[in-house]
Structure 1
Amino acid sequence: MASVTRTTGTRGKARRSSVEENLQRAMERLVGKGASFTQLSVEQLAAEAGIARGTFYLHFRDKGELVAKLMQRVTEEITEAARLDAPETATRDDLRATVKAVVGLYRRHYAVMAAIVETAAYDPQVERLFQAMMRALVEVNRKALKRRRDAGVVGDDVPALTPDVVTWAFERACHQLIRGRKAAQVEALVDALTHILWTAVYADAGRSGG
């Protein structure tokens, strides 16, 4: 009996994961066509994902719970990509590679990220998760600044809120400047974000190289 229960549980998790992936791809297609996640109905999402409306509600209470679940995946990916192994010795090229990776993930998951921002305005659970994601990303930049300061690469004159400000600016820039952009425009965004992060957090006063 125990063996059957484990198998059923595994199959149930696999089924849920499959439903999540189908719904995520459905969101990406619909949002990619210009739809607003807030305006999308469960019926539209289910139909685009090729599942029954009842199947959606078998796995999720509402659209907010779907977004919260998808957000956990995206948060882990983006936070991991944002970390530099050794920020105290990182060069500007190292930082650009990291920025490009994060922007690439944001671009790939734009539908989910846009849904997060929209849903956070009225769903307390999604708002909490969104704020937690941003705190995690802020902490990445705070630690990078501290490690560069401790290593003597950066002075003590960088304002304490700088990591917070640049992290939120990064998120807003991705939200506003990625959708519908061509590859060259995305590369230009990567260059701009790298310049801002390097100048504000990574480079000492008067230094721009690395």
Structure 2
Amino acid sequence: MARRPKHDPRETEREILDAAERLLRERPFREISVDAVMSQTGLKRPAFYVHFRDRHDLALRVVENAGRTLFEMTDLWLRGEDPAADARRAFEGLVEVYVEHGTVLRALADAAASDEKVERAYNALVQRFIDATVRHIRDEQARGRIGELADVEQTARALIWMDERYLSEALGREPHADPQVVVDVLYNIWMSTLYSADTAVTSHRSAASQPAAGQ
């Protein structure tokens, strides 16, 4: 009798994570059990514990994966040389992630309010973005691109938590806001706060609809 081929551990882990994300799109974290997750896969319950300690550990891994994807987008701005163009590309990338995964990210944010383990992981993720923003602001100040701020760390904290709440509210539920409008709103707030009001722009569609000077 032929032996059943073994699952690739990476594929098994990915299948479980995908199942968790599907459930998080439909119900709050408190209603998600190991059995519920595994019922969405073609795997047996013991396979879950090969990769995760419990459902909390699973949620933390979903947070880590989401954070990795979001940070890849943010890195476009952090490592760029053109503040305006790089920031817009970064916000476009962030919005794309939220359009695809916004309901899951919102579910994790909601879970953080009532689950201590998820809260620690989620807050650590947000803090990573705050720390990176602080470093970038100070680098830009050293280059003379950003002037004096009331408090660099608190400015970064306010901007990042504003992003987190706004993106969750705008794109974490259906019907969601127009993604291009979300990009423009975030871009304007960040550019006006860190650089100058002259850097901020209205949405492409609004700008295109304005009559040319002299008309």
Give TM class, smaller chain: 0.7 to 0.9
Matched-pair contact (CA < 8 Å) for 1:67–1:112: no
2:129 corresponds to which residue? 137
Higher helix share: 1
2:199 corresponds to which residue? 208
Amino acid at match of 2:62: L
Cα distance in 2 for residues equivalent to 1:180 and 1:90: 34
Matched-pair contact (CA < 8 Å) for 1:31–1:37: yes
1:3 corresponds to which residue? none
TM-score by length of 2: 0.76
1:195 corresponds to which residue? 188
Structure 2: gaps spanning 5 or more residues = 1-5, 202-215
1:180 corresponds to which residue? 174
The answer to whether structure 1 residue 79 and structure 2 residue 71 are counterparts is: yes
SS of equivalent residue, structure 1 residue 76: helix
Q: Which of the numbers 52, 64, 71 marks the counterpart of 1:60?
A: 52
Q: Give, in angstroms, the shift of residue 85 of structure 1.
A: 5.0
How many residues are treated as equivalent by the alignment?
Answer: 193
Cα distance in 1 for residues equivalent to 2:13 and 2:191: 37
Cα distance in 1 for residues equivalent to 2:83 and 2:64: 30
Alpha-carbon RMSD: 2.6
SS of equivalent residue, structure 1 residue 109: helix
Q: Give, in angstroms, the shift of residue 209 of structure 1.
A: 5.2
Q: Which of the numbers 161, 169, 192 marks the counterpart of 2:162?
A: 169
Cα distance in 1 for residues equivalent to 2:200 and 2:34: 51
Amino acid at match of 1:28: E
TM-score by length of 1: 0.78
1:169-190, Cα deviation, whole Å (9 max, x unpaired): 10111111113246x7122111
Q: Which of the numbers 134, 140, 150 marks the counterpart of 1:148?
A: 140
SS of equivalent residue, structure 1 residue 49: coil
Structure 1: gaps spanning 5 or more residues = 1-10
